[in-house]
Amino acid sequence: MSHTTNEYGQPVGQPLTDWQPRPLPQRETLEGRYCRLEPLSVAQHGDALRAAYEQAQDGRDWTYLFAGPFADEAEWLRYAQQMESSRDPLHFAVIDLESGRAVGTLALMRIAPEHGVIEVGHVAFSPLLKRTRQATEAHFLLMRYAFEQLGYRRYEWKCDSLNAPSRRAAARLGFQYEGAFRQAIVYRGRTRDTHWFSIIDSEWPQVKQGFTRWLAADNFGADGQQRETLEALRQRP
List the domain boundaries for the chain.
26-235
Confidence of residue 217 (pLDDT cuts 50, 70, 90): very high
The DSSP line for 70-105 is -SSHHHHHHHHHHHHH-SSSEEEEEEETTT--EEEE
Chain centroid to Cα 112, Å, comes to 16
Encode burial over 222-236: b for 16+ CB neighbours within 10 A, e otherwise: eeeeeeeebeebbee
| pTM for the model | 0.97
* DSSP-based three-state secondary structure for 146: helix
Q: What is the pLDDT of residue 57?
A: 96
pLDDT of residue 90: 98
Residue 212: count of CB within 10 angstroms of its CB: 14
How far apart (Å, rounded) are the C-alpha atoms in residues 52 and 63? 17
Asked if pLDDT for residue 16 goes beyond 80, the answer is yes
Q: How confident is the model at residue 3 (pLDDT cuts 50, 70, 90)?
A: confident
CA–CA separation, 88 and 27 (whole Å): 11
Residue 184 has pLDDT above 80, yes or no: yes
At the fourth CATH level, the homologous superfamily of domain 26-235 is Gcn5-related N-acetyltransferase (GNAT) (3.40.630.30)
The rounded percent of the chain whose pLDDT value lies above 70 is 100
Calpha distance 155→92 (Å, rounded)? 17
* Per-residue confidence band for 1, with pLDDT thresholds at 50, 70 and 90: confident
CA-CA-CA-CA dihedral for 115, 121, 122, 127, to nearest 10: 160
